[in-house]
Amino acid sequence: MRQTRVWAKGLGLCGAVVEGVELEAWSNTVVVAVRVGWQDRDRCGLCRRRSPGFDLGRGRRRWRTLGLGSSVTVLEADSPRVNCPEHGVVVAWVPWARHRSRFTRTFEEQAAWLTAHSAQSTVATLLRVT
């Protein structure tokens, strides 16, 4: 199995292609560069309908995901916008996060589960969020 597939599997990424992984030393952050697979490109972020591209949006964007050891881990990818016939110009859909979220689905799901089963201060410390 290729290294990039191991990263995708380990981070619970479906429909994403891992392009590379690097450690941002100054912030002790693992940055996983990803892109949307060809079958999921150019889809509306709200209804997932395939839509014509509009522009490149604000360039590279980051989503916080589950950590690896003592490092914060983020996914980084382009976030182009599409012109949906129903919703207008919106950021394109990505398989790893909900629309307008700064966190991946796996991160949100783990935070929700932990919050339901333990103290908020414990969850905040464990996930390194405030």
Binding site for Zn ion (CB under 5 A): 44, 46-47, 84, 86-87
Q: Is 79 helix (H, G, I), strand (E, B) or coil?
A: coil
| Closer residue to Zn ion in complex, CB, 45/110 | 45
Q: How far is the CB of 112 from Zn ion (least distance, A)?
A: 26
- C-alpha distance across the termini of the chain, in Å: 37
CB 65 within 8 A of CB 75: yes
The residue behind tokens 């339901």 is: 116
Q: How far is the CB of 14 from Zn ion (least distance, A)?
A: 21
Neighbours of 127 (CB within 10 A): 18
The strand pair at 71-78 and 29-36 is best described as parallel
| Closer residue to Zn ion in complex, CB, 44/75 | 44
Distance CA 119, CA 125 (A): 10
Q: How far is the CB of 121 from Zn ion (least distance, A)?
A: 39
Q: How far is the CB of 87 from Zn ion (least distance, A)?
A: 4
| Closer residue to Zn ion in complex, CB, 23/89 | 89
Which residue has its beta carbon closest to Zn ion?
44
| Closer residue to Zn ion in complex, CB, 47/66 | 47
